[in-house]
Chains A and B, each alone.
Chain A
Amino acid sequence: MFEIIITFSVLILGTLGLGALSGIFSERVGVVNIAINGMMIIGGVIYSYFSKYLHDQYDQIALLLLAGVAGGAFALLHGFATIKLKADHVISGVAINLLAPAIALFLMKLQGDSNKIQVMLRDLSLFDLKEGGGSYKSLVSLSLFITVALFIVAWFALNRTKWGLRLRSVGENPNAADAVGINVNGYKFQGVFISGTLAGLAGAMYVQYSGYFLGNVQGLGFLALAIMIMGQWRVSFAAIAAIVFTLIYSTTYAIDTGAGTGSIFKWLKENTDVSHTIPYVLTIITLALSSRGTLAPKSVGLHFDKSKR
């Protein structure tokens, strides 16, 4: 049973964890990002579209990079609207969320089948997903390596470098940052671009684990947003939140596949829809029990006005 749980959570951790990290980078520079879902879709469609032309398993490293860059470029659209034109962050985010599936559908139509893209380039790992079941071998996988590495790099960059301090200051008090000579809009654009890149990667990882692309990422971007808020806009907390959530999430799927004995498990197995609600219910309960003051960046959602300092 634990093998299945581990296998599945490794698969989903890349998507949800990197999605949450994407939200952190954007919101720490003060740009509300509800467009994680849209940026993930862009990453997913780019990955699946170009995977048609590549067949070697190791090509996926290049593809992941491409998906990330595409997501980042798409995020600049959000950055342009919110930073340069001082648009409402939520409106722009909703627009991005609407545009992304449209672009995805357009690309899907270009490649022939407008409903589905089959993806052959699955996660590079010791354990082949097609075998079915689960194995501890899946712990040695590229997606898990990238996710863990990016979390560590992100934590170090944000909390232990000059660049990270400046980035965070832009989200907390942009006018103070401006007064000491930091290029506020430059840092905001950097944050949004990194956010898009991470979301694009997350989308590509979603496609890797599902094996096909149907034009959306099943709302996992919104879940990533929720995990980011659960993680209180901090990399370390978000990592814990993502791991705990994915473990619970994959446990329900392990129950679906018939792991676990006892009458409760049996009933849950027969009624999978009820067991699927468990991670969400537990999340709300955990948050209710551990309620405290929010650690959100002070100036998130506000526009930087140079004349206000």
Chain B
Amino acid sequence: MTKRKPITKTKPLEKTKSLAQKLISSDDTKRGGRKFLNAIWAIFFGILISMIFISAIGKDPINAFSQLIKGGNDLKKITWTYFSMYAFGGLAVAIGFKAGLFNIGVPGQMMASGTAAYFIIRQYGSTDTGSMIVALLVAIATGMIIALLVGLLKSFLNIHEVVTTIMLNWIIFYLAKYIFRPGTKYNFQDYEQSTPFAGIKSSIFNVQDNAWIFSILIVVVVSITLWIIISRTTIGYKIRGIGINKDAATYSGFSKRTLISGTMALSGALAGVSGFMFYIVQRSGSIDFSSGQPLSYGFDAIAIALLAYNSMLGVPLTAILYSYLQAGQSRLELETGIGREFYAIIVGIIVYLAAIAVIFEKFKPAEFSLRRLLYFIFPSYRQKSKKIYQKFKAERNGIQSDIISSKDFYKKNKSQLRKDRRRIKKEIRAVQSQVISQNGDYTSSKKYYNQISDLKIQLLGTEDTYGKSAFKTNKTHLSTIRKKYYKMFVSLTDDYSEILKHRTKKLFTRKGGK
């Protein structure tokens, strides 16, 4: 066991690992896989914390979650049309973030494109597949134009995109509300919403029919296409470059203005699809203004994009989570009496945990179980690690008494130390003020400087006499010892896990060979 050749890492394993990393996260950093795991842990712990929360208010948490998922499955068709709305909104925000642009204007872009599509269908078309596709294209174009305006204002006039998008959200909200005011051609009821279509003939755009299949398909196709564009083409390279460093475009010679406007337009186009899927397909043409503010689902898109770390392939996954939470909450409320605030709390906790995902960086259950496995398989590993621990313990106990005695000594003299330090500092200040008062007299001030330096040496000396520095050095000594032994332990674990890997590989090849 002690004598063995160094084992080189297997190539195919490495290959699949890196491919998986790239698939999961489009941020080309080494920590892509770790980010994915962090997001998973954030969601896991978010659900766990909200379960605790539910049981705290006296409800059964397991039942609540099963009702939520059941609710989502019951309304399968609605859930999956929500899915496309969330996914496209999330993609719109994510692609903006890739270029360093913060598109808060998804609600406005969605509403504008929904309005345009509604107008086209009511005015010129019927609800068959052909005119629905035309309406979809119009929706995309509308979203694109509005976002392009933001991009142009940003790149030519240097207006912050956050301001323009927020303002446009409200402008579009009020203008759409004006277009669909009660008593007009598009709204013959008295509610603050447009009159829905009587029924959409085209089956792939009808939420009661096959719209959910279409919605899944379109999300899959678009997100994979976008992933290829972002990570495999020159344009994507440029977009990412400008997102990582604002001046990247200037230094490498591609037009910053075109890039910003283009990315923004792409983002708007995606938001346009989202708006179409929500207002025309999901709500079959009912554009609602009763909330009195821009559509809140559009703001959820920001959370979806960020939870997926702006990965084009991660966004659909978080969108699934969101659409289940959204569609399942009515059944949840009906069955368990847990209201909409629950949905908001769970989402908030998950996103907050995703934000502080760093705390999961050290959370490695796989490593822990690996160590257990090694204990189980190799008795020598157990012995060696025990030996390391014993050595560490002995060395630690050796200095433990030192630490305790120095700590006691320091604690006893703490107040005295403070008093002394205060006194010396006061003296220093007194000397300093004397220097200031006798400004210009070089010879005397030199004398004072000597006094000051003497006093400062005294000040440092107090730490020694009252045991502070001894306590400090003892402490650092302990931490270096701990680090040393931990390193030894980690290298031991690595060695044994390599052996384990090697053995399993051998086992499989032998079987395959014969």
Contacts and interface: CB of A to CB of B under 8 A. Distances in A.
Given A97-B299, A288-B159, A291-B157, A92 B355 contact: yes
A81 B303 contact: no
Interface stretch (B133-141, B194-202, B343-351): B343-351
* B contact patch SS: helix
Contact of B355 (A95, A222, A283, A284): A95
Interface string A194-226: 000000000000000000000010110011011
Interface in A97-117: 97-103, 105-106, 108-109, 114
Nearest to A92: B355
A91 B163 contact: no
B356 A283 contact: no
B352 A284 contact: no
A277 interface: yes
A88 interface: yes
B357 A274 contact: no
A119 interface: no
A87 interface: yes
Interface string B316-359: 00000000000000000000000111001101110110111111
Interface in B139-173: 153, 157-160, 162-164, 166-171
A293 B158 contact: yes
A276 interface: yes
A222 B104 contact: yes
A111 to B, nearest CB: 13
Contact of A271 (B178, B349, B359): B178
Interface string A279-307: 01101100110011110000000000000
A230 B162 CA distance: 10
A216 to B, nearest CB: 7
Interface residues of A, number: 50
Given A106-B345, A225-B162, A277-B174, A85 B358 contact: yes
B351 A91 contact: yes
A222 B293 CA distance: 11
13 contacts: A80-B356, A87-B356, A92-B356, A95-B354, A96-B352, A98-B352, A99-B348, A99-B349, A101-B344, A102-B348, A109-B341, A222-B104, A225-B166
| 7 shortest interchain CB distances as A-B pairs | A105-B341, A99-B348, A102-B344, A95-B352, A273-B178, A98-B348, A95-B351
Given A102-B348, A291-B159, 19 more contacts: A86-B358, A87-B356, A94-B303, A106-B341, A219-B169, A219-B170, A222-B166, A225-B162, A229-B160, A229-B163, A273-B174, A273-B177, A276-B174, A283-B163, A284-B153, A288-B153, A288-B157, A291-B157, A292-B158
